[in-house]
């Protein structure tokens, strides 16, 4: 019985689902067209795994709070060209700097791993092909930037 309880508890920790504010379906559909706005760049940050689903992780764009991610969610930010800093706040802090160019899209994966008290995160830029495929399986969240 104790073993069963521990297995259920472990499953909830790994695969539970955090609740974060979601964008309207129309916004999600529009973002998945992968448009390229004039005189701007687009950054997509996505979390495409179920692992750590119970953890809503804070994300920041250029040192401004942008929102929280959950399992199978993504953020989309339209930014001016130049250097931008993305920060993921978990048990640790992961920082990624991207120098954006007009008309280009950037895809950043937020990966989770086990930490001591909560999940740890790593931010990693991925290819357009890999990023677009992942975004199609995720849902857009509301952020303070959109």
Q: Is 9 helix (H, G, I), strand (E, B) or coil?
A: helix
Nearest-Å Rg of the Cα atoms of the chain is 16
What does the domain layout of the chain look like in residue ranges?
2-140
Q: What is the mean pLDDT of the chain?
A: 83
pLDDT, one tens digit per residue, over 72-120 is 999 999 999 999 999 998 778 999 999 999 999 999 999 887 666 567 7
pTM of the model: 0.81
111 touches 49 (CB < 8 A): yes
34: left (phi over 0), alpha (psi -120 to 50) or beta: left
Q: Which CATH number does the domain 2-140 belong to among 2.60.40.10, 1.10.287.130, 3.40.50.1260, 3.30.930.10?
A: 2.60.40.10
Q: What is the mean pLDDT of residues 37-51?
A: 89
Query: Which among 88, 90, 46, 93 has a CA at the least distance from the CA of 65?
Result: 88
């Amino acid at each position: 019985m104790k073993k069963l309880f521990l297995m259920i508890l472990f499953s909830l920790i790994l695969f539970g689902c955090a609740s974060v504010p979601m964008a309207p379906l129309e916004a999600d559909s529009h973002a998945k067209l992968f448009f390229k706005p004039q005189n701007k760049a687009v950054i997509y940050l996505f979390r495409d795994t179920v692992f750590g689903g119970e953890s809503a992780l804070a994300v920041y764009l250029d040192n401004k709070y942008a929102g929280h991610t959950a399992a199978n969610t993504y953020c989309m930010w339209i930014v001016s060209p130049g250097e931008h800093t993305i920060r993921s706040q978990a048990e640790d802090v992961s920082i990624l700097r991207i120098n954006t160019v007009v008309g280009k899209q950037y895809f950043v994966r937020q990966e989770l791993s086990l930490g001591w008290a909560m999940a740890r995160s790593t931010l990693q830029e991925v290819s357009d092909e890999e990023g677009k495929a992942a975004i199609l399986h995720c849902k857009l969240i509301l952020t303070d930037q959109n």
